[in-house]
Amino acid sequence: MNMNTDKKTALYFLPLLLLLVVTLLRSTQAPWSDFAGYYFGGRELLSGHYANAYDMQNLNFLIASAGYHGVFVSYAPFPPFTSLLFAPFLALPLGVSKLLFNSFSVIFFLFSLFRCQKFFSITGPQLLLIPIVFYTPLINNLFFGQSYLLLSALLLEGYIACKQDRTVLSAALWSLAIVFKVFPAVILLFLLLQKKYRQAGWLCIACAFLLLLSLLLNGWPAWKYYVTEILPKVNNGELNSSFTFIFQSAFMLFKKLFVYDALLNPYPLYASPWLFTVVMGLFKALILTTCIVFTIREKDRDFDSFAVWIMGSMLISPNGSSYSLILLLIPLLALMAGKTLIGSLIPALVLWAACYIPVYRLENAPTLLQFPRLYLLLLFFVLLLPPNKTERRRLPWPSLRKAWNLALWAVLSLLFIGPALIPHRDPDTSTYFLQSEQHIFIYDYAVSNNRLVYSYWDDKGTATVSTGFQVTSATSEGLEIKDKQIWFKGRQLTTSPDIKKKPLLINGTFILYLSDKNRGPGFYTLRQLIPPGQG
């Protein structure tokens, strides 16, 4: 009887298996995309050349010089440890490496999902929803050569091992996820609130071991550069364009509403960086309060709590992507567990809409209409907090009330809003040189026929365009960059943390230079600065 049941259940995996196998084969013809960043950036890190991995120009030049064209990637989102996970695939040719990595991800993902089906009592018909709901994230993971199938499996297998009291295995799996993508570190809070101190301790030990291993193999300078230069920008949503609606995050919504940028966001609803910090702080506190109180009060629903933390961490993240949405399989499984197909349809439909909606078509829509996925994910988050059976006769959504604590929300809000209460003045007097944003990565500029020209790089390769600005003189005399700051005739002119390159005094009146201020690491544009006495 059990064997027949297993065979029948296995049949429900066939649509997902067929989709993954067909997509896996088609991915061999897809552009190299993000995997080229993993591949070449990982090789540079393992060779001790971290500057090449995290420098946009060097990394893309390396890829182009290896004969791969139509590639435009950045290694910035990935911590140095990522190179160790990809190490087994880096000695192989790029095409073979991508195919093997995708194959490994698919096998591990299917293996984990098969185990989850039994562990969480997911019915066969419910399994049919997975390839439908996650069609776009599944395809994009394999086409882009991304790692979120692998990450999902690590998180799920870590939870199953934890429930089976296999503490060391759980710590090993979860620590891999944490040092790989950082944000799963919320698992530590989940364990502490669940009073699973032994598991939390082992997780800390495992993370420390993996970090030590990475320090030995990648080197301290690589980690120092990542923590001090890359991570602050990543946490501020600065991966490429700093105001992109494509991320579909609350952070980007509030930033577009309240933060002015002459090129990237010239028409906010109300320009006030202070208001942005306040609203974002209130939102973070709202999500985290819900996660904390739900975990404490729903002690017998630890998988629901685990799913809430994964979902919450995604909601407060400034970044997002279509392929990362596969992580929402975890909260979907929590909603499916112990329920029928009919009982799973509403949350599955909401999640399907969030995954399917083509947000890239909303570029010209009003700001508030550019974030439909965010709104759907917030609704899905609410659906993670269903009422207990004993509460169903009370007010609607009683679990929302149970997962709330006004005092905790107030304390967390003050914690996040605190920086906005401290008076701050930006001493940077530089401004953009260009009047519009046409290319997100300018890597050089020069003077040609008495006209200022700049060179840019995108997925079509490199090109040079003229700005039309007339240049009568351009000199670097008296200019130098020390500790990331521009000095002119022995006087420091800047104090901002952005990376600056190639300062030149133009026409004897202003200093022109490349800068990644308020942009992704190494995504330069042209800025200008009038030195004292020249205005």
Q: State pLDDT tens for residues 334-384.
A: 999 877 788 789 999 999 999 999 999 999 999 999 999 999 999 999 998
Least confident of 261-275, 399-413, 447-461: 399-413
Local confidence band at 5 (pLDDT 50, 70, 90 cut-offs): low
φ, ψ dihedrals at 380, nearest 5°: -65, -35
The pLDDT of residue 518 is above 70? yes
pLDDT for res 389: 52
Token pair, residue 353, equals 């809409």
Q: State pLDDT tens for residues 449-479.
A: 999 999 999 888 889 999 999 999 999 999 9
The pLDDT of residue 394 is above 90? no
| Whether the Cβ atoms of residue 183 and residue 317 lie closer than 8 Å to each other | yes
Rg (CA), the chain: 25
Give the pairing of strands 500-506 and 510-515.
antiparallel
| Whether the Cβ atoms of residue 105 and residue 150 lie closer than 8 Å to each other | yes
CA–CA gap between residue 435 and residue 198 (Å, rounded)? 57
Q: State pLDDT tens for residues 485-503.
A: 999 999 999 999 999 999 9
Local confidence band at 190 (pLDDT 50, 70, 90 cut-offs): very high
| Whether the Cβ atoms of residue 81 and residue 180 lie closer than 8 Å to each other | yes
Neighbour count for residue 294 (Cβ, 10 Å): 23
pLDDT-above-70 percentage for the chain: 95
The pLDDT of residue 398 is above 70? no
Provide the strand spans (E) within 271-371: none
Token pair, residue 73, equals 């990637």
Task: Provide the 8-state DSSP code for 265.
Answer: B
Region of 483 please: left (phi>0), alpha (psi -120 to 50) or beta.
left
Mean per-residue pLDDT over the chain, rounded: 91
Burial class (CB in 10 A: 0-12, 13-18, 19+), 444: middle
CA–CA gap between residue 188 and residue 217 (Å, rounded)? 26
CA–CA gap between residue 59 and residue 238 (Å, rounded)? 18
Highest mean pLDDT pick, 103-107, 273-277, 297-301: 103-107
The pLDDT of residue 262 is above 60? yes
Local confidence band at 186 (pLDDT 50, 70, 90 cut-offs): very high
pLDDT for res 372: 97
The pLDDT of residue 399 is above 70? no
pLDDT for res 3: 54
CA–CA gap between residue 190 and residue 188 (Å, rounded)? 5
Query: If we measure between CA atoms, which residue out of 380, 250, 229 comes closest to residue 320?
Result: 250
Give the pairing of strands 485-488 and 491-492.
antiparallel
Q: State pLDDT tens for residues 48-88.
A: 999 999 998 899 999 999 989 888 888 888 899 999 999 99
The pLDDT of residue 319 is above 70? yes
Q: State pLDDT tens for residues 217-250.
A: 999 999 999 999 999 998 888 887 889 999 999 9
Q: How far apart are the first and last CA of the chain?
A: 87
What are the residues whose beta carbons fall under 8 Å from the beta carbon of 134, sequence distance 6 or more? 325, 326, 328, 329, 355
The pLDDT of residue 110 is above 90? yes
